[in-house]
């Protein structure tokens, strides 16, 4: 096992990888609760979606761990499940079975692009400065999500966002968890983020802010209401309306995953010389999980940015992903205890990891204006628009334009010009 996952080469151990896998799982486990809640509003069976979500995460995490040796979780994407429910099903009036068929078609196209190594070539063509900007931008984005989940930052009609009520019990719990985790982290305690979540959970239970589960073991809900629902509707996706939906699923998922992989492999020290080893295998794992997940009954999965919490604990190999998959498998039987994992518990991990990822900002060449502006907009637009893809879009459109303005267009890879035009089309659509 040590040889297969290259423990020695990546300076890690069984204990370190296990702790990292558990930490990532705890950070991303909310998807087992939130994804069924969102998709049920589109008319899907909540129990079936819960099982499909867990099985998709198990499959995706195993594939990326065993094929690419990456310490990363793959699970249904929060952004795309909201787009599926509120824009496609409720907004456009499309039945969930037809919309899910669109997800399936997008997954198949993903697999073809991955097998042809087109996705790999695109990611490797992205300039190094923009890759660092993507990593830093995702850091700011997930830190913002952490502050929002904790209630430390709340919406305001006049200033858009403002400080929340820090005296509120649940907000105070998140703040205590954040402080405790930071203190352990700066003291150099291994697994500080994981221990911080455990301590926060225990404090929450003691003061009555975290629910104590009424039972531990539950039955696994049936997949029958959603399994295979895509196949009878394959002929219904070839309409202009549904093709636009498939294009959106494909485009957003592509660059959400690309951005997350760049950021996470950079954080884990896997990316070398502006290239990511075995990126093709990672992309194939991601796309395969997408197609199979749609058959099971859930929306497009993606590389989870929450994986950064496990990497921060020390996850460096695919064994972390295997542990994540095992945790999701266990969660199928112990679904009642998932109520313990609240947003207040995971907020500290997201905030701290966001700060660690934002350190990549130092690697950007801040002395060249043609790089500074695209990089800055890539970073800032991710938290401001709540979308990794939107942040990437602004950077990818402006980067080649800036070099064209300086008559240095030959310094930019031709693929970047194609991507720039595609992102303009993406905004129009």
Say if residue 235's pLDDT is above 90: no
Structural domain contains residue 13 = yes
Domain co-membership, 22 together with 76: yes
Task: Decide if 44 contacts 350 (C-beta within 8 A).
Answer: no
Kindly tell me if the per-residue pLDDT of 148 is higher than 80: yes
247 and 379 in a single domain? The answer is no
98 and 21 part of one domain: yes
- The percentage of the chain sitting over the pLDDT mark of 70, rounded to a whole number, equals 98
Has residue 183 got a pLDDT over 80?
yes
Of the candidates 350, 352, 387, 297, the one whose C-alpha atom is nearest the C-alpha of residue 26 is: 350
Task: List pLDDT tens digits, range 69-128.
Answer: 999 999 987 767 877 887 788 878 889 999 999 999 999 998 898 888 887 788 778 888
Q: Summarize pLDDT for 10-35 with one digit per residue, the tens.
A: 999 999 999 999 989 988 887 887 78
Model confidence band, residue 294 (pLDDT cutoffs 50, 70, 90)? very high
In the predicted structure, residue 59 carries a pLDDT above the cut 90? yes
The answer on 404 and 329 residing in a single domain is no
Does some domain include residue 175? no
Look at 425 and 223; give whichever has higher pLDDT.
223
Which of 296, 324, 339 terminates a domain? The answer is 339
Q: What does the longest C-alpha to C-alpha distance in the chain come to? A: 67
Q: Is the pLDDT of residue 191 over 70?
A: no
Matching residue, tokens 């009036």:
93
In a domain, 167, yes or no: no
Do both 17 and 78 map to the same domain?
yes
Give the pLDDT of residue 128: 84
Residue among 184, 153, 83 at smallest CA distance from 429: 83
* Claim to verify: residue 23 and residue 98 sit in the same structural domain: yes
Q: Are 124 and 53 found together in one domain?
A: yes
Q: Are residues 326 and 399 in the same domain?
A: no
Question: Where in the sequence is the domain holding 394, given as residue range(s)?
Answer: 365-428
Task: Give the pLDDT score at 246.
Answer: 85
Q: What is the pTM of this model?
A: 0.73
Q: What residues contact 400, with CB distance under 8 A and at least 6 apart?
A: 409, 412, 416, 417, 420
Domain identity same for 12 and 104: yes
Give yes or no for a contact between 297 and 44, defined as CB atoms under 8 angstroms apart. yes
Range from 120-124, 398-402, 419-423 carrying the lowest mean pLDDT: 120-124
Residue 406 maps to a domain: yes
Domain end, chosen from 294, 324, 339, is at: 339
Q: End-to-end CA distance of the chain, in Å?
A: 47
CB 251 within 8 A of CB 389: yes
Domain check: are 421 and 325 in the same one?
A: no
pLDDT in tens, 300-349: 898 888 898 899 889 999 999 999 999 999 999 877 766 677 778 878 88
Are 306 and 389 in a shared domain? no
In whole angstroms, give the CA distance from residue 20 to residue 349: 12
Which pLDDT score, from 0 to 100, does residue 392 have?
A: 86
Same domain, 334 and 369: no
Alpha carbons 246 and 249: distance in angstroms, whole number: 5
User: For residue 97, what are its two tokens?
Assistant: 């079975």
Interacting residues of 190 by C-beta distance below 8 A, sequence separation 6+: 16, 19, 313, 314
Please count the structural domains in the chain: 2
């Amino acid at each position: 096992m040590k040889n297969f996952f290259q423990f020695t080469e990546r300076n890690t151990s069984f204990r370190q990888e296990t702790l990292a896998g558990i930490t990532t799982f705890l950070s991303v486990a909310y998807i087992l609760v939130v994804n069924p809640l969102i998709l049920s509003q589109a008319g899907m069976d909540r129990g079936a979606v819960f099982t499909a979500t867990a099985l998709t995460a198990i499959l995706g995490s195993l594939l990326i761990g065993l094929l690419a040796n990456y310490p990363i979780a793959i699970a249904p994407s929060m952004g795309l499940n909201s787009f599926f429910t509120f824009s496609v099903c409720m907004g456009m009036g499309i039945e969930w079975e037809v919309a899910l068929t669109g997800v399936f078609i997008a997954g198949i196209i993903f697999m073809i692009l991955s097998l042809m190594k087109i996705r790999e070539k695109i990611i490797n063509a992205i300039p190094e400065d923009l890759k660092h900007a993507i990593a830093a931008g995702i850091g700011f984005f997930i830190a913002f999500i952490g502050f929002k989940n904790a209630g430390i930052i709340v919406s305001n009609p006049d200033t858009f966002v403002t400080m929340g009520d820090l005296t509120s019990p649940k907000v105070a719990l998140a703040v205590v968890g954040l402080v405790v985790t930071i203190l352990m982290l700066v003291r150099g305690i291994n697994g500080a983020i994981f221990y911080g979540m455990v301590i926060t959970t225990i404090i929450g239970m003691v003061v009555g802010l975290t629910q104590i589960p009424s039972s531990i073991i539950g039955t696994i809900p049936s997949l029958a209401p959603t399994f295979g629902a895509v196949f009878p509707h394959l002929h219904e996706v070839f309409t202009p309306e549904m093709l636009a939906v498939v294009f959106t699923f494909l485009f957003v998922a592509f660059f959400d995953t690309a951005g997350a992989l760049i950021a996470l492999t950079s954080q884990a020290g896997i990316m070398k010389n502006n290239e990511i080893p075995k990126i093709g295998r990672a992309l194939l794992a991601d796309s395969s999980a997408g197609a199979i997940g749609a058959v099971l009954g859930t929306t497009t999965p993606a590389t989870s940015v929450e994986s950064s919490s496990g990497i921060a604990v020390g996850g460096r190999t695919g064994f972390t992903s295997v542990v994540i998959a095992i945790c999701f498998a266990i969660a199928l039987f112990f679904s009642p205890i998932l109520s313990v994992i609240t947003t207040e518990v995971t907020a500290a991990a997201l905030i701290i990891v966001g700060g660690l990822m934002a350190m990549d900002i130092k690697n950007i060449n801040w002395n060249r204006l043609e790089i500074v502006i695209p990089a800055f907009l890539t970073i800032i637009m991710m938290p401001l628009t709540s979308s990794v893809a939107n942040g990437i879009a602004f950077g990818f459109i402006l980067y080649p334009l800036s070099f064209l303005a300086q008559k240095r267009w030959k310094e930019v890879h031709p693929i970047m010009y194609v991507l720039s035009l595609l992102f303009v089309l993406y905004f129009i659509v």
